[in-house]
Amino acid sequence: MTTSPARADKPVRTLPLNKTLLCLACVILLIVNGVFLVRNLDDLRAANTLQAQTARVSDELQYLNLLVTDAESGLRGYFLSGSDVYLGPLHAAPQQIDNQLRALGVLLADSPSQAKNLNQLRALVQKKLGLMHQALEVYRQGGLVDIVAIAAAPDERADMDEIRLQVVIMTREQNELLAARTASFYEQYRHAALLGVGINAAAIIVLLLFYNLIRRAFRLRLQAERALQASNEHLEQMVVERTEQLSVLSRHLIKVSEEEKSRLARELHDEMGANLTAIGMDLTTVGEQLRITHPDLAAMLGRARRTLVDTVQLKRRIIENLRPSLLDNMGLSAALQSYCADYARITSLDCDALVERDADAAGPMQAIALFRITQEALNNIAKYAKARSVIVNLTREEDGWDLEITDDGIGIPEGAMTKSKSHGLLGMRERALLLGGTLEVERGVNGVGTCVRAWIPAQAPGGDGTPASPLPSQRGEDPPPALPETDPLKLNAPHP
């Protein structure tokens, strides 16, 4: 089975071997520690069981001794009083003693020496019970004198002492066994505790090593994050600088474009206008002279003169598009009103221009910026808005000019200002920024249509309309290359 190169070259991200081994060692240490804890618990349970067994054996032996003693005391009471009431312990003793011996046999089954001692104790007790029953028969046949004679025999007392001695031996041996097992348990517990301390120490060392690895990994990660953050900040700074440079360049190109348009308009008006006028006068003079002698040539000169008139009209339209003559001759108010009237006539839209009389007080840079913004906004409305009416409102504020252009069309989509192809909107904003102003494009009232709102300060940055930010040439850099000119809407229909 083959693996594709892309998949084969893809790095496999796994936990490093040292971290894996440390984790495995920590798990093994915890498992071993748990096993030893369980073993210690079992040993402790066995020690407690042995201690309880020893206490029960002692109690059972003492109770057995008490049963024999009670039986003997009851028999003596019967000898002295002759009442059968005192024979109750003697009659009940065999059954009770047998139960005690069976219980002791169960308790001492795991100890061969104690089992042997128990057999000897059973023999002594049975022998004692047999002697007491014989004494009872002797009393019933011979009376108290024979009992006194039997009691005076030395063997009578020795049997009871042997029973007590056997009980003491068995109790002592059980205690010695308890002591030996307890000592063994504590020795094992001590070893287990030392081993547990060693395991805990090893676990602590492993955890410290693991912590060191985690700390190192965290430090490396923090360094990587800081490096990434520094790189991001550097990139953001570069983006800001490049954006500012592009913005400055854009404003500079707008300024240069307006200056070039103004220069071309003056040259066309002065030089080409004078030349076309001279040509027209010459054509008129020659045509008047040839009207009688050469009427056909006079007709050709008439047609040439009409073509010349059309050329003059074309020159006028070009000059108006480059630099509106009304803006320089009659002021901003007349230029806006004339342009809106021509716009309404050509597009068949209802376009109202509400311009204050103080609009003519605007400086040259402010006036051309307000005119171009209006021109571009109306161009966009004609192309995309599908509107029926447009209102252009220019008002004079204390510190600048407020231009508002609203329509009742379909409205502008969200984020249109950030799209790369929105050259018209970006050009309008750059014209406003060139003079230190602002431009906002938003939905109209109640979400109907579009509202373009521009604010141009009365005093441009630098005092003369120059950009506030230094141009590349002013910073010691090479001047920017010439870019293709992008012109706003031109109403190319011939003037009436």
DSSP state of 459: S
Domain termination residue (choose one: 171, 197, 221): 221
pLDDT in tens, 281-322: 888 888 888 888 888 888 888 888 888 888 888 887 787 777
**Long-range CB pairs of 396-402, under 8 A, 24+ apart, other chains included:** 396/356, 396/358, 396/359, 396/361, 397/455, 399/457, 399/458, 400/437, 400/455, 400/456, 400/457, 400/458, 401/359, 401/362, 401/366, 401/370, 401/455, 401/456, 401/458, 402/453, 402/454, 402/455
Is 258 inside any structural domain? Answer: no
What pLDDT, on the 0 to 100 scale, is given for residue 389? 93
Examine residue 490 and state whether it is found in any structural domain, yes or no.
no
> Residue 271: inside a domain, yes or no?
no
Q: How many structural domains compose the chain?
A: 2
Dihedral sign, CA of 147, 153, 156, 157?
A: positive
pLDDT for res 390? 94
Considering the domain boundaries, does residue 262 fall inside one? no
Q: Does residue 171 sit in the same domain as residue 33? A: yes
Q: pTM value?
A: 0.46
Q: Which of 194, 221, 248 is the last residue of a domain?
A: 221
Identify whether residues 211 and 64 lie together within a single domain: yes
Structure confidence at residue 144 (pLDDT): 65
| 189, part of any domain | yes
Distance CA 223, CA 233 (A): 15
Q: In the prediction, which pLDDT does 15 show?
A: 60
Which pLDDT belongs to residue 200? Answer: 79
Range of the domain at 375: 329-470
Question: Whole-angstrom Cα distance, residue 323 to residue 335?
Answer: 11
Q: Is residue 427 part of a domain?
A: yes
Residue 5 included in any domain: no
Which of 154, 187, 221 is at the close of a domain? 221
Give the CATH number of the domain where residue 460 resides: 3.30.565.10
Q: Do residue 213 and residue 338 come from a single domain?
A: no
Is 40 within a domain? yes
Kindly give the parts of the chain with pLDDT less than 50. Answer: 1-12, 463-496
